[in-house]
Amino acid sequence: MHQGNHCEIERKYLIAMPDADFLRARPGCAVWEIEQIYLTAQPGTTRRVRRVTETGETRFYKTFKRRRTALTAEEDEGRISAEAYKAYLLESDPALKPILKTRYRIPFEGQTLEFDLYPFWTDRAVLEIELEREDQPVRIPEWVRVLKEVTEDHRYKNVSLARETPMDAL
């Protein structure tokens, strides 16, 4: 996770539900339990706070995001105190439900693969891969079954999942 202002470039894929124990067993895997709350925001921006628990330690983050292209967003992101997190919760957007997910962060060939498993799906998950530039080639392990790329499908943005969950037939 970056700190401060930066550009985030990522590709996102809808994948067949992976085996969580298999992911956990991958070398270097970090497991994050995430609760993500969306805050009220001006059009064109997204504001959220996260509570992340990893190996018994809980951390809090805020992220303010403005999309530049389908792959790139300007982000102001940083760690915050538990008190600041509670204060931000007062700005929660009542139209958006909290997002709960388990994220498996796995290093693979110089990239970090982020597998997000959500409690509302049993047959699919999301794989995000952060890139250094938009034209950077993506490397996905052969053990991942990609159903389709959803980088440009707004229904699979977390803020959209907080509103409505796509349940398309696979």
Cβ 18 vs Cβ 144: under 8 Å: yes
Residue 133, phi then psi, degrees to nearest 5: -150, 155
* Average pLDDT of the segment spanning 13-39: 97
Residue 79, phi then psi, degrees to nearest 5: -75, 140
DSSP H/E element including 5: strand 4-16
**Of 1 and 54, the one with more pLDDT:** 54
Model pTM score: 0.90
Tokens of 131: 């890139």
What 3-state class would DSSP assign to 163?
coil
Cβ 29 vs Cβ 19: under 8 Å: no
- Express each pLDDT in 94-138 by its tens digit: 999 999 999 999 999 999 999 999 999 999 999 999 888 888 899
CA nearest 61: which of 85, 35, 25, 94? 85
DSSP H/E element including 22: helix 20-24
